[in-house]
């Protein structure tokens, strides 16, 4: 930066959340300056080749065994892999911003849940409930009845409610009505509705019902799973939103970080100083790393991750080329779920004939690496392993007072639902108006736009 200038919004960091907000605000006519201390896009969502993985997590002097693993440049391994719900809000954001024009997505082959030492396909329909090995015959019938009720439920038609009004009855009450046992509740709540804990059980069932409908609808749209994943890894998502922001006048500066955040006399943000120059703004958005050591963020936990390079598909997945596996905490003795994201060369993220699995979970003990051992057995044997721990930070306020809006760190989940919900909520706080997501999530309906 070699001059002073004014913008509406300054964004610090080019992670997934920051780039979506930057793109959406640019489309709305805001003049945006986007800065990142790194020389690449993505932040915590960066995609690395094999050489970069060794440099980051082992030693810069380590030589890549390309005879065993394939060429380094054939790898695009995400540090924070998250799958996209095919008919969910992130797809709507991609369509609204037209970022979908810059990316290619491919469906994920399978959605699985862990139980009794192995993985099982998540049933998404009444017919699949009858064929699954997750449950005994009586639970199969109960689950089939439950999923049929969910499919038929219409909020404005009491005849479809069966005395179970989803806005009045809690999830626990609905599950009890259909006689779903703890095991069935675990995969319905965690592998279909994608809740990270069981707090939802004591809340109205409405949200849970909508999540299950979304899951089932997404499976029906794309086949064997409800998830999509971009070719060449997640780095394309922030780059796509950045490209869109640039079209609408957004300015980007990599290898640039503010030396100081400036404030007006009334305590609201005034801009940032970089060296001898100042960029003035009315609002500032940033990821937590730009506020370490200040009262603006607080550490709330850690996420541990293991990246495994393999030469075979996962067991019990019908040799799926890609999959999400959710491991409900009730089946492991943990306090929180664990996740496995599994990808292959079909998504252009590893060399031909190779596979990558990333295990993630919230750290619960003083020995986080050991928490992954049982999940690693599901992937065994493997050719290479990388392990790391990331701190989780959250903002200490909503940003409305000083107009500084800070995103939270990425959680352990292997899907974008929580991250997307945060972006939608932040957009409303920043602009004062809700984001219009009434459009269809079906790309076929937007081909002429």
Residue 265 sits in the same domain as residue 289 = yes
Average pLDDT over every residue of 159-187: 95
> How many residues does this entry show for the chain?
449
Residue with tokens 């489309």: 27
Supply 104's token pair: 């290619």
| CA gap 59, 132 in Å, rounded | 45
pLDDT grade for 375, boundaries at 50, 70 and 90: very high
Sequence-distant contacts of 209-213: CB under 8 A, at least 24 apart: 209/150, 209/153, 209/166, 212/147, 212/150, 212/188, 213/150, 213/151, 213/153
Residue 15 sits in the same domain as residue 154 = no
CATH of the domain at 405: 3.50.50.60
pLDDT at residue 447 in the model: 59
pLDDT grade for 448, boundaries at 50, 70 and 90: low
Residue 147 sits in the same domain as residue 204 = yes
Supply 339's token pair: 């996740």
pLDDT at residue 188 in the model: 94
pLDDT at 59 exceeding the cut of 70: yes
Beta strands in 98-237 (DSSP E): 105-107, 110-115, 118-121, 227-230
- Beta-carbon count within 10 A of 385 CB: 15
End residue of a domain, out of 222, 252, 282: 222
Decide if 270 is inside a domain. Answer: yes
Quote the number of domains for the chain. 2
pLDDT grade for 293, boundaries at 50, 70 and 90: very high
pLDDT at 30 exceeding the cut of 60: yes
pLDDT grade for 12, boundaries at 50, 70 and 90: very high
DSSP label at 415? B
Residue 406 sits in the same domain as residue 263 = yes
Q: Is 193 left (phi over 0), alpha (psi -120 to 50) or beta?
A: alpha
Residue 185 sits in the same domain as residue 293 = no
| CA gap 296, 277 in Å, rounded | 24
Give me the domain span that covers residue 35. Answer: 5-44+235-298+394-446
Name, of 168-172, 186-190, 436-440, the range with top average pLDDT.
Answer: 168-172
pLDDT grade for 40, boundaries at 50, 70 and 90: confident
pLDDT at 102 exceeding the cut of 80: no
DSSP label at 312? S
In this structure, of 134-138, 347-351, 371-375, the range with the lowest mean pLDDT score is 134-138
Average predicted confidence (pLDDT) for the chain:
91
pLDDT at residue 276 in the model: 92
Supply 215's token pair: 């899951």
Query: For 316-367, what is each residue's pLDDT tens digit?
Result: 898 999 999 999 998 888 999 999 999 999 999 999 999 999 999 999 999 9
End residue of a domain, out of 199, 222, 245: 222
Average pLDDT over every residue of 246-265: 89
CATH of the domain at 202: 1.10.405.10
Name, of 60-74, 123-137, 350-364, the range with top average pLDDT.
Answer: 350-364
End residue of a domain, out of 222, 254, 278: 222
Residue 266 sits in the same domain as residue 406 = yes
Residue 292 sits in the same domain as residue 410 = yes
Average pLDDT over every residue of 147-157: 95
């Amino acid at each position: 930066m070699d001059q002073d200038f004014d913008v509406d919004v300054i964004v610090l960091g080019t992670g997934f959340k920051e780039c979506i907000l930057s793109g959406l605000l640019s489309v709305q006519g805001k003049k945006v300056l986007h800065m990142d201390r790194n020389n690449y896009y993505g932040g915590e969502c960066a995609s690395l080749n094999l050489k970069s993985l060794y440099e980051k997590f082992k030693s810069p002097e380590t030589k890549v065994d390309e005879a065993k693993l394939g060429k380094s440049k054939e790898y695009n391994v995400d540090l924070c892999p998250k799958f996209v719900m095919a008919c969910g809000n992130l797809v709507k954001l991609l369509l609204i911003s037209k970022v979908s024009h810059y990316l290619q997505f491919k469906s994920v082959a399978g959605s699985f849940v862990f139980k009794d030492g192995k993985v099982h396909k998540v049933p998404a329909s009444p017919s699949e409930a009858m064929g699954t090995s997750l449950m005994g015959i009586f639970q199969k019938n109960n689950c089939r009845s439950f999923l049929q009720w969910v499919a038929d439920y219409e909020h404005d038609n009491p005849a479809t409610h069966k005395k179970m009004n989803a806005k009045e009855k809690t999830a626990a009450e609905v599950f009890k009505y259909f006689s779903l046992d703890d095991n069935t509740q675990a995969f319905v709540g965690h592998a279909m509705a994608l809740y990270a804990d069981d707090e939802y059980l004591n809340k109205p069932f409405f949200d849970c019902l909508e999540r299950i409908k979304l899951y089932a609808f997404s499976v029906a749209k794309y086949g064997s799973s409800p998830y999509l994943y971009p070719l060449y890894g997640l780095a394309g998502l922030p780059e796509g939103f950045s490209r869109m922001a640039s079209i609408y006048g957004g300015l980007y500066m990599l290898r640039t970080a503010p030396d100081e955040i400036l404030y007006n006399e009334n305590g609201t943000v005034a801009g940032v100083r970089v060296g001898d120059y100042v960029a003035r703004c009315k609002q500032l958005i940033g990821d937590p790393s730009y506020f370490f050591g200040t009262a603006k963020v607080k550490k709330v936990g850690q996420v541990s991750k293991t990246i495994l390079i393999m030469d075979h598909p996962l067991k019990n997945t019908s040799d799926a080329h890609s999959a999400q596996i959710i491991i409900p905490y009730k089946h492991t003795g943990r306090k929180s779920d664990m996740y496995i994201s599994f990808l292959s060369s079909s998504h252009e993220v590893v060399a031909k004939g190779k596979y990558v699995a990333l295990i993630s979970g919230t750290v619960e003990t003083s020995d986080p690496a050991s928490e992954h051992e049982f999940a690693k057995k599901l992937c065994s044997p493997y050719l290479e392993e990388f392990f790391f721990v990331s701190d989780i930070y959250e903002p200490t306020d909503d940003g409305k007072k000083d107009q500084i809006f800070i995103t939270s760190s990425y959680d352990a989940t292997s899907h974008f639902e929580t991250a997307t919900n945060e972006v939608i909520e932040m957009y409303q706080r920043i602009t004062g108006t809700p984001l219009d997501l009434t459009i269809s999530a079906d790309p076929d309906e937007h081909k002429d736009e």
